[in-house]
Structure 1
Amino acid sequence: MAHERSIVIVTPALADANNGNWQTASRWARMLAPRYRTRIVQHWPDGGASERDDAMIALHAVRSLASINTWAGIRGEHGLAVVMTGTDLYGLDGMDPLSKEALSLAQHVVVLQELGKERLPPSARAKARVIFQSATKRPTLTKPHSRLRAVMVGHLRDVKSPETLFDAALQLRAERDIFIDHIGEALDPSLGARARATAKGAPNYRWLGGLPHEEVRRRIQRAHLLVHTSRAEGGAHVVHEAIRSGTPVLASDVEGNIGMLGPDYFGYFHHGSAAQLALMLIACRDELHRTQSGALMKRLREQCHERSPLFDPAREKAAVLKLAADLLGSP
């Protein structure tokens, strides 16, 4: 019967963080709630209700490791799923040893894009599955041809490589019909200072700071392009939100982006190459003005349209419910 079983979702980030981990935890809790008692916590156990939990889904192997270890010490691997994030999979020196410890304790492992499994040790691949995250589909808006507007979304921190966008904006400062909006809080104050300096040196660049999620989605929907410069990603929300809004993506050629957009996607630039990103933005602007014979944006829109069904909420919900059933040993 519904709600007789309890599933706890452990995430290092709660609502005030307004980041990908929280968005995933919140969405999965809503998907599970009609069938199971579900709650979201930062640490487990978290009080009297903990003894009634039948399964745990832990987001972020390293930062949730204490909760994972506690569960495994009491329950063993049964009922334990570990969701691998970008920093779990793609550290500066490869996978964090603590990630491997979490993997060894889990009954099931989840990665959020197609190439994630390839980073796992062989012992973990057999128990791993891909669950693409989802977003509601929004109408593709008609956008002006007189100017190009690009948007980048992500808190300012090293892993997001915002310097690539800063440098590209400065290279494009004389291009008065290319506009770049940058959304995200300065988690690294030095990067906030770089953003302010870029805005002074490049009149086409605006740093908007952190914004509510709904406003972020509207800005993505209104933009011609989403720019995504990250060094490492587990499966970025903003990429599939752009795809589901009919907004094509220019992305760094890192595994987490390729696993979302596909190996043959035309919109990759080399990670860290501001010059290549700037040239792609110019090519897209020229396509709008019909001064270039190429059709880069047209092809990107087509490719994103082809990938869009992967990020449908019904598909994600079915996958999350299947994970829950497997954890609980129910059909």
Structure 2
Amino acid sequence: MESEAKTIVLVSPATADANNGNWHTAHRWAQFLSGHCDIALTSRWPAPPQEPAPRRAPQAMLALHARRSAPSIHAWARAHPDKPLIVVLTGTDLYRDIHTDADAQQSLALASRLVVLQEAGLAALPAEWRGKAQVVYQSAPALRPAVKSSRSFRAVMVGHLRDEKDPLTFMEAACQDFPPGIHFDQIGLALDPHFDEAARATAQRTLRYRWLGGLPRAQTRQHIKRAHVLVNCSRMEGGAHVILEAVQSGTPVLASRISGNVGMLGPDYAGYFTLGDAAQLAVLVRRCALEPDFLALLQKQCGQRAYLFDPREEKRLVINLVTSALG
């Protein structure tokens, strides 16, 4: 069909080496679209010399990150003002940059379409731009749930250690008083020496806590699958990939009550704690470990959201997004 001959530039400032949610989104969307058009996945546009140029003149741009991709977005708009420009908004876009950064604000204005990654993201957009925005939930393949250990209880937090993820709250929670057998695992690279020092100090302070560093994605998913709960402490999220990976692995979630997490798990979810409140997080971990009915409630509520994170649905929405933009 006609769309098979068209080329789409997909800009992702995050590369494979970053191993973060934005890169995984870009890579997955490129795979979804590869059967319908030619995809030129690049870190910026025009493509840097070390990256191959598209074989044909591109017909549309799909860019992740309004601020970090702003030079590519602005260059595309100048060169191709009549061609579609789709901008996907990350957490730092929605909850910080588009309210303060002129380049990010200009990206919103230039975009022909905007994408947010969870339903609460629409309300975070300035009202003038909501009419060209839509929600596309990210996805992950469902894994067969693990048989969880009955002798110990394990909470895991996944994400590179940086301010936006608030890793210190997880560390502080691990140092609270708990019955024997409750453990805290933290996975992710320390992107600031301060967090490296904090993680090592926490491991010395309590044997309950382990910092496992950065791990390959497949190995990380197995840790999520085997854990009793996944913890997300983030200050801002566009749509946390680790939350949907937990849901798709049969692992319930404890999450900071921020817009991006509520947009993933729903306003009535029972597993929220106040942002930055380590004591409140510790109370929830104890409840999960000691009250089977509470853990079962979280499991049920997560299961009710699983349909949102099905790869078939994400693929359908992404293909429709690009096809309608080109049409």
Both proteins in one fold, TM over 0.5: yes
Match of 1:45 in 2: 46
Retained in 1: the 8 A contact 2:155–2:228? yes
Does the aligned pair in 1 maintain the 2:162–2:191 contact within 8 Å?
A: yes
Q: TM-score, normalised by structure 2?
A: 0.95
Q: How does 1:174-185 map to 2 (within 5 A)?
A: 175-185=179-189
State the distance in 1 between where 2:150 and 2:100 align.
44
The structure-2 alpha-carbon separation of the partners of 1:144 and 1:30, relative to structure 1 and needing over 3 Å to count, comes to same
Residue 99 of structure 1 aligns with which residue? 104
TM-score of the aligned structures, taking structure 1 as reference length: 0.94
Structure 1: stretches of 5+ with no match in the other structure: 289-294
Report the Cα distance in structure 2 between the residues aligned to 1:156 and 1:139, rounded to whole angstroms: 28
Note closer, same or farther for the CA distance 1:324–1:229 as it changes in structure 2 (3 Å cut).
Answer: same
SS of residue in 2 equivalent to 1:226: strand
Matched residue count: 322
Cross-structure match for 1:31:
32
Map Cα deviations across residues 261-298 of structure 1 (whole Å, 9 max, x no partner). 0000000000000000001111111125xxxxxx2111
2:139 and 2:310 in contact (8 A); partners too:
yes
Alignment correspondent of 1:218: 222
Aligned equivalent of 1:134: 139
CA gap 1:117/1:93 in 2 versus in 1, 3 angstroms: closer
Q: Give CA deviations for 1:53-110 in whole Å, capped at 9, x if unaligned.
A: 1111100100000000000011126310000000001128955443221110000000
Q: What secondary structure, in the 3-state scheme, does the structure 1 residue paired with 2:35 have?
A: coil
Residue 278 (structure 2) aligns with: 274
Task: Report what 2:94 is aligned to.
Answer: 89
The list of structure 1 runs, each at least 4 consecutive aligned residues, that deviate by more than 2 angstroms after superposition, is 47-51, 92-99
**Equivalent pair of 1:147/1:179 in contact (CA under 8 Å):** yes
Report the 3-state secondary structure (helix = DSSP H, G, I; strand = E; otherwise coil) of the residue aligned with 1:90.
Answer: helix
| 2:202 paired residue number | 198
Q: Secondary structure at the match of 1:124?
A: helix
1:236 matched to which residue of 2?
Answer: 240
Change (3 A) 1:158 1:77: farther
RMSD: 1.5
Three-state SS of the structure 2 residue aligned to 1:3 is: helix
Alpha-carbon contact 1:83-1:109 (below 8 Å) kept:
yes
Q: The residue matched to 1:137 in structure 2 has which SS?
A: coil
Structure 1 residue 50: deviation in Å?
7.7
Q: Structure 2, unaligned stretches of length 5 or more?
A: none
Give distance in 2, aligned partners of 1:127 and 1:77: 16
Partner of 1:298: 296
Q: Displacement, 1:123?
A: 1.8
Secondary structure, counterpart of 1:113 in structure 2: coil
Report if aligned partners of 2:239, 2:260 keep a CA contact under 8 Å in 1: yes
Equivalent residue number for residue 312 of structure 1: 310
Give deviations 1:213-240, integer Å, cap 9, x for gaps: 0001111011100000000000010000
Correspondent of 2:64 among 59, 62, 76:
59
Structure 1 93/124 Cα, relative in aligned 2: closer, same or farther at 3 Å? closer
Paired letter, 1:226: L
What is the aligned partner in structure 2 of residue 264 from structure 1? 268
Match of 2:285, SS state, is: helix
